Amino acid sequence: MPRTILILAGGVASPEEVREAASGADFVLAVNGGFDLAKRADLPVDLLLGDLDSLTSPIPEGLPTWRVPREKDATDLELALNHAVSLGAEKIVVVGAFGARLDHTLANANLLEKYAIPIVLFHDGARIYLVVDRVEIDAQPGDLVSLIPLSSEVRGVYTWGLRYALSDGVLFRASTRGVSNEVLVAPCGVRVRAGKLLLIHIPKGGGR
């Protein structure tokens, strides 16, 4: 049973990010164009999943493949996340969840509210963590950290190591209160009592 599953999606990502994200992964699941990304990173794939409509590379003979219909009620990434959970993953790492299509980017970010295990997304130097209980990160002073609620409200929010502290705070989805905090000391992090949110870590000099 794999403990950490790496999902490679077809969004924006570099081979360097893939290789970094693959560290410690027990199982690699490529979703559609994520297979091309795996090839560029020279990373073996354990399972290819999707409608396979965006592949530019031939599928190797013998590669386990789960082909799904093009017309369906869930994105290929959602199906991949569901499958990773069904395999008993204790942690999921995703590369390429976000891309040029705004609808896919918003849908994939909001999708994470569905899950209750640690999920980390790699995107353009940033790291996005699903917080369902507690997340602590090893950041550098001056890095940016934003807390984005996925639930309509997130209660019992405690932070440490950040310039603007919260103690038993409440964050609302229809608010930008948690955006653009700053790391003072490492490690830093957040704990919540109820609800789910995203912790977005942008290294110093990245983002706007």
pLDDT single digits (tens) 135-181: 999 999 999 999 999 999 999 999 999 999 999 999 999 999 999 99
**Could you give the number of structural domains in the chain?**
2
In this prediction the pTM is 0.92
Residue 129 placed within a domain: no
Q: Based on the domain organization, do 97 and 142 belong to the same domain? A: no
Same domain, 19 and 110: yes
Q: Do both 140 and 120 map to the same domain?
A: no
**Number of residues written out for the chain:** 208
Among candidates 101, 80, 100, which has minimal Cα distance to 28? 80
Contact 131, 171 (CB under 8 A): no
| Domain containing residue 178: CATH number | 2.60.120.320
Residue at a domain's end among 72, 91, 124: 124
Q: Are residues 31 and 120 in the same domain?
A: yes
**pLDDT at residue 205, as a whole number:** 66
Q: Work out the pLDDT band at 75, boundaries 50, 70, 90.
A: confident
In a shared domain, residues 148 and 104: no
